[in-house]
Amino acid sequence: MDLFLKRNHDVSISSGYREKIPQANCKEKCLPGYRTSTSKGFLACCSACAPCSDGHVSNITDSKICHKCPDEEWPDEGRVKCIPKSYEFLSYEEDIIASCFSVATILCCFITCFIIRKFKVFWDTPIVKANNRPLSFILLVSILLSFLCVFLFLGRPVDITCIMRHTLFGVFFSTAVSSVLAKTVTVCIAFKATKPGSSWRKWTGVKISNSIVLTCSCVQVLICVLWLSLSPPYQDYDMFTYIGKIIIQCNEGSVIWFYSVLGYLWILAALSFFLAFMVRTLPDSFNEAKYITFSMLVFCSVWIATIPAYLSTKGKYMVAVEIFAILTSSAGILGCIFFPKLYILLLKPELNSRKHMLQRTNVLCSTYSC
């Protein structure tokens, strides 16, 4: 009997001890957005709460793991649920710089059309005749189309705009630079042809200038056709460059062909600058060679300055840099070559005469022994 009572007493003591076992007071209750993490140096029953890492969420209490969001989604501020990432591109609605570029492009197009109109009005005047009317018209139209290409860079990129933006700009701008090159060659030939018995006389006329423009433009067209045939540009989504954003951009397809298009433009510009610089002091009634030198200097300076900025930016800022280069280089050619002529046509009409042109030419020729 005593033995039975003793056993029951021991059982009751052990049961009471188990009921009063103290809980570990080093364990935290992890809320959603956190996960339990066992800290080193503590008992196994102890744990801490660690926030979910970037791109992960947890939506239950005391979650042991955090779940990764899909690539197109991102955690909310509490890291409780995944929400869609925001899209980034050069938008008319959200970016004031897109509206600024649009206004600047429209203004440049208006100025170009105004110059074309004035050249048509003064088509038979000496200053327009002296600067190769067909080349001037081709150059103005090419610059106008280059300005309009800016609208292909604005807004949300799609496959068709990705294909058209660099190819059309490359063709139009190469035509413009080819026209500048043809103007430079024309100035050089015209001076050499003034010498008695010169063999350069057979090269004067519009045939040589038209051949230069056609040949140089066709080379750029061939490069663009090969680019589109082998590895065309396409719409691409960059989900990892910026946190919580998806960059909608144009993938150039083949970087080699992309830089071939731009590199060919730089070669034409450099050649035009070199020739214009060599003949800048030759007799010219309206200093065409000097204006070409300045225009090509502006072109080269703009594109060389924007290369580091273009390579160091991503997304819409990279597109903004490229648009800035297109606008400034096109406006530089337009202003340097045509503004001096427009000034004479509108403000100094007395200089737009054959008599003044011949007097100036005779003075220059006597200086340079034409």
Stretches where the chain sits below pLDDT 70 are 1-28, 38-47, 190-206, 280-287, 353-370
Instruction: Provide φ and ψ at 91, rounded to 5°.
Output: -95, 145
| Per-residue model confidence (pLDDT) at position 94 | 83
Predicted pLDDT at 152:
92
Paired tokens of 228: 């589109």
Tell me what pLDDT residue 4 has.
44
Q: Does residue 74 share a domain with residue 111?
A: no
Please check whether residues 169 and 195 belong to one and the same domain.
yes
- Domain assignment present for 12: no
Task: Indicate if 52 and 171 belong to the same structural domain.
Answer: no
Three-state DSSP state, 352: coil
Residue 4 lies in a domain: no
Any domain includes 131? yes
Q: Which residues pair with 246 in a beta bridge?
A: 87
Which of 84, 104, 119 delimits the end of a domain? 84
The range of the structural domain enclosing residue 77 comes to: 29-84
Regarding whether 183 and 129 lie in a shared domain, the answer is yes
Indicate whether 285 and 317 sit together in one domain: yes
Predicted confidence (pLDDT) per residue in 134-161, tens digit = 888 999 999 999 999 999 999 899 999 9
Asked if 159 and 36 sit in the same domain, the reply is: no
Same domain, 70 and 187: no
In this prediction, residue 350 carries a pLDDT of: 76
- Give the whole-angstrom CA distance, residue 78 versus residue 59: 10
Q: What is the pLDDT of residue 151?
A: 93
Q: How many domains are there within the chain?
A: 2
Q: Residues 349, 242: one domain?
A: yes
> Could you tell me if 55 and 134 lie in one domain?
no
Is residue 23 assigned to a domain? no
Tell me what pLDDT residue 321 has.
92
pLDDT of residue 239: 84
Reduced 3-state DSSP string for 33-75: CEEEECCCCCCCCCEEEEECCCCEECCCCCCCCCEECCCCEEE
